[in-house]
Amino acid sequence: EPEVTQTPSHQVTQMGQEVILRCVPISNHLYFYWYRQILGQKVEFLVSFYNNEISEKSEIFDDQFSVERPDGSNFTLKIRSTKLEDSAMYFCASSLDREGFREQYFGPGTRLTVT
């Protein structure tokens, strides 16, 4: 069964450093998403991406964040200068079409720890 994969599973970084979280969505999917979950809190939407551009972003997704689909398979989330409060689990998801209610497939997550 096709699945979304994410690397690394755990990333530790120092405050102020740049991190790139990587995702490989399901190959025929067209819509891509990032969510995050701060420990003990809700899973929050960050951004959705389609046709090589951001289609929607939340207020969390400020100028420190960027997304990219550098090739035909990877979808990345970059945090330019990490803060302590960026520590969270980051989930990537993909869906076949815009009607994501059909199903968004989620990856296992990357746990980011900023020290």
Eight-state DSSP code of residue 41: S
The interface with another protein within residues 70-99 (CB under 8 A) comprises 91, 93, 98-99
Round to whole Å and give the CA distance between 18 and 21: 10
Dihedral sign for Cα atoms in the order 55, 56, 60, 63? positive
Between 15 and 54, how does the x/- string for binding to another protein read (CB under 8 A)?
A: ----------------x-x-x-x--xxxxxx--x------
| Separation CA 50–CA 88 (nearest Å) | 24
In whole angstroms, the minimum distance from the beta carbon of 20 to another protein comes to: 19
**Binding residues vs another protein (CB under 8 A):** 3-4, 6, 9, 31, 33, 35, 37, 40-45, 48, 55-56, 58, 91, 93, 98-101, 103-109
